[in-house]
Amino acid sequence: RRTQVGIVGAGPSGLLLSHLLARQGIDSIVVENRGRDYVEERVRAGVLEQGTIDTLAEAGLGERMMAEGLFHDGIEIRFDGQAHRIDFPSLTGGKRIMVYGQNEVVKDLIDARLEAGGAIVFDVDDTAIEGIDGESPTIRYGKDGAEHAIACDYIAGCDGFHGICRPSISEAALTGYDRVYPFAWLGVLADSRPPSREVAYCHSERGFALLSLRSPTVSRLYIQVAPDEDIANWPDQRFWDELQRRTAVEGAAPIETGPILHKGITPMRSFVAEPMRNGRLFLAGDAAHIVPPTGAKGMNLAVADIRFLTEALAAFYRTGDTAGLDGYSARALRRVWKAQRFSWWMTTMLHLSPDDSPFDRRRQRAELDYVTGSEAAMRTIAENYVGLPFETGL
Ligand code: FAD
Ligand code: DHB
């Protein structure tokens, strides 16, 4: 089998790339080691930047998103028993965000690809790539006991942080920048009324908490826990009690509880691999970089990478010129590092770190006081949160 662009991974990165390439008349095949149901039900990110909303809508993926997604005009920051609001449209020239689950985006993408006759091969095993230094790299995989090979012009490594594409690059050709945080998030999806109208980031003496939602009747809630925390230590009632304590502010009604539909622990780390290309392999999304989730940048960065990679591949197939492909990594990394900075900053501003000195804690409180009191500081949060403008290419 042969294709123009072989894509490893059917997360947001791989599926969006396949969809956008098809709109440019470029052929691709996606291989995914999980099943369709698993990929569609995986509970992850939920906040779309303005540029992500626009990218999906312009690509014909906006129908259900616009009907069911919830536009939000701001976020809350809570500390010391007070809630502070940061308004986005007034600080960013009219930009907003949307709450729409990553798995809903994935469902819409899979539907669109399959409807257009696109090739997604689910449930593969032993994925491997070879020949990225040559003219025709190959993706190999097993399926139902048989071995398969796809010869490609280019391979897109969209297989997430634990995928096989990044490790296929020789260590000497890649530099990794890594930071691990001394805490994790316990995340819950609950059939309960969202406790806050807008996404609320809560700093407290007991640790960080985040109030979010998926719909008017489904809440998405997180609390900071130790990185090695055992989820068995968090029966439902303990979670609700702790969430209430960390998020309480003057005038807020007690949190309404409800059945917990999903509970999981996410470790927190910042990581960037440079460059995002080796030979005929291009890395995109979590395969190349991950951010701690505070600030909701993970999936949005993946979408920006794919936008840039699509432009570069489309220019190559149109004109034969590889300048865009040669510039892809540098262009993507300019955005990646700005999102890394913002995610690191939001994370350290809002969490309690066991390494913090009493001085650090006082400075942290002053920072929260400053960012919720100064219009210049609020604008800084707003313009990063709604997403910086897409970087220009060559
Ligand atoms: P992924 O979504 O990871 O997709 C990669 C795909 O490749 C997967 O479908 C995987 O099954 C497949 N794959 C892996 N290995 C192979 C292989 N060998 N062969 C074939 N296929 C393979 N971001 C936020 O902004 N907010 C959040 O709350 C949040 N929560 C998260 C929770 C968890 C547990 C994780 C892991 C991430 C979370 N993120 C969050 C980050 C966000 O979900 C990611 O940034 C986003 O999924 C990146 O998309 P991607 O397509 O690049 O990678
Ligand atoms: C959500 C996740 C985030 O990481 C964040 O910063 C805000 C909201 C969410 O899952 O809704």
Q: What is the pLDDT of residues 251-292, one digit of tens each?
A: 899 999 999 999 999 999 999 999 999 999 999 999 999 999
How would residue 209 be classed by pLDDT, with cut points 50, 70 and 90? very high
Compute the distance from residue 62 Cα to the ligand 2 centre, in Å.
21
pLDDT of residue 251: 87
Residue 5 makes CB contacts below 8 A (sequence gap 6+) with 17, 21, 26, 27, 28, 152, 153, 154, 155, 156, 313
Bridge pairing between strands 74-79 and 70-72 = unpaired
Average pLDDT over residues 308-324: 98
Going by C-alpha positions, the residue among 91, 43, 70 that lies closest to residue 386 is: 91
In a domain, 391, yes or no: no
Residue 137 pLDDT exceeds 80: yes
Q: Are residues 254 and 106 in the same domain?
A: no
How would residue 393 be classed by pLDDT, with cut points 50, 70 and 90? confident
Residue 211 pLDDT exceeds 80: yes
pLDDT of residue 275: 98
Compute the distance from residue 11 Cα to the ligand 1 centre, in Å.
6
Tokens standing for 248? 């309480």
In a domain, 83, yes or no: no
**183-196 pLDDT, tens per residue?**
999 999 999 999 99
Residue 96's DSSP bridge partners are none
**153-185 pLDDT, tens per residue?**
999 999 999 999 999 999 999 999 999 999 999
Q: Is 296 in the pocket of ligand 2 (CB under 6 A)?
A: yes
Please choose from 42, 222, 385 the residue to mutate so as to test ligand 2's pocket, defined by most ligand atoms within 8 A of CB.
222
**220-247 pLDDT, tens per residue?**
999 999 999 999 999 999 999 999 999 9
Which residues have C-beta atoms less than 6 Å from ligand 1?
A: 8-14, 31-34, 39, 44-45, 102, 124, 127, 158-160, 163-164, 266, 285-286, 293, 296-299, 302
Residue 394 pLDDT exceeds 90: no
pLDDT of residue 249: 96
- pTM (predicted TM-score): 0.97
Domain containing residue 227: CATH number: 3.30.9.10
What is the distance between the alpha carbons of residues 121 and 35, in angstroms, rounded to a whole number? 9
Q: Is 30 in the pocket of ligand 2 (CB under 6 A)?
A: no
Compute the distance from residue 359 Cα to the ligand 1 centre, in Å.
37
- Mean of the per-residue pLDDT values of the chain: 97
Domain containing residue 9: CATH number: 3.50.50.60
Going by C-alpha positions, the residue among 368, 349, 351 that lies closest to residue 207 is: 351
Q: Which atom of ligand 1 is nearest to the CA of 39?
A: 9
**Is 379:91 a contact under the CB 8 Å cutoff?**
yes
Going by C-alpha positions, the residue among 202, 177, 170 that lies closest to residue 82 is: 202
How would residue 65 be classed by pLDDT, with cut points 50, 70 and 90? very high
Compute the distance from residue 144 Cα to the ligand 1 centre, in Å.
24
Q: What Å distances lie between residue 32 and 112, 121, 195, 270, CA to CA? A: 17, 6, 36, 25
Which ligand approaches the C-alpha of residue 385 most closely? 2
Residue 321: domain span:
2-46+101-174+275-351
What is the distance between the alpha carbons of residues 254 and 242, in angstroms, rounded to a whole number? 12
Q: Are residues 156 and 134 in the same domain?
A: yes
In a domain, 194, yes or no: yes
Active centre residues (catalytic)? 72, 201, 293, 297, 385
In a domain, 381, yes or no: no
Q: Are residues 247 and 314 in the same domain?
A: no
Q: Which atom of ligand 1 is nearest to the CA of 47?
A: 25
Q: Which atom of ligand 1 is nearest to the CA of 284?
A: 52
In a domain, 146, yes or no: yes
Q: Are residues 233 and 338 in the same domain?
A: no
**340-369 pLDDT, tens per residue?**
999 999 999 999 999 999 999 999 999 999
Q: Are residues 225 and 280 in the same domain?
A: no
What is the distance between the alpha carbons of residues 20 and 220, in angstroms, rounded to a whole number? 30
Compute the distance from residue 262 Cα to the ligand 1 centre, in Å.
17
**Is 46:217 a contact under the CB 8 Å cutoff?**
no
How many of the other CB atoms lie within 10 Å of CB of 307?
25
How would residue 12 be classed by pLDDT, with cut points 50, 70 and 90? very high
In a domain, 364, yes or no: no
